[in-house]
Structure 1
Amino acid sequence: MSGIAIAFTGTLLAAPASAEPGDAVYSANGWSEAQFFDSFDTKRVCDDAKDGHSGVGKFRWSGGSKTVWDTKGANTCEDDQSNIPENVTVYYKACIGESSTGKIWDCGIELWQDN
């Protein structure tokens, strides 16, 4: 009996998961969250931890993107209602960031939702 061995040396990437309007996604450490509501194209990010960093939401769609920062401190949220074209898929994820430097890290999984 012969066998076949296969070695994989690449990086596995998870595909974004589908979301319902308002479903939250969290940063890798759980200290921030992002949501998308197709009514009024609301992109929301919340800072869920008193850690000295900002909550960051990264939103992207065909032809555009928007990074939303919540710099108001722990247990607060920031909404952005800038326009997103109709009939596009919006991908979003939550991260932690340092607003003074623009550095972003600890991004969690990405969700998607049709607009």
Structure 2
Amino acid sequence: MRLGHLARAAPLLVRTAATAATAYPAAALKAGDALRSRRRRFTEDDPGAVYASQSLKFAAPVYVGDEVVAQVQALQINAAGARHIVKFATKCFTDDDQTLAIDGEAMAFLPTLQLSTEVME
């Protein structure tokens, strides 16, 4: 069943998207920042984000072999001691960014708001 592939892939896409805060030019993450249009391979050297919650709406099917582009936007940032609680808008598109496949929100604890420069082409 093709929908099963989508249901299994979506949490991975969203988890990856939330960690994408480490994938962009050196700067500090701020509310309103949209993190997209870059490709990056995540490794064990990446600083970890702790997922607090996520909600997803499946708007269109994603099939094996489809290219999926994830877009993550920081909506709200609150300091919590040495960590930061960040609420993200998360979207996944297919068909060259034309079809919205997954729409949702995620809440994560980030160890830093610093964005790194390591990008995979």
TM-score (normalised: structure 2): 0.31
TM-score norm. by structure 1 comes to 0.32
Larger radius of gyration: 1
Which has the bigger relative contact order, CA under 8 A and spacing at least 6? 2
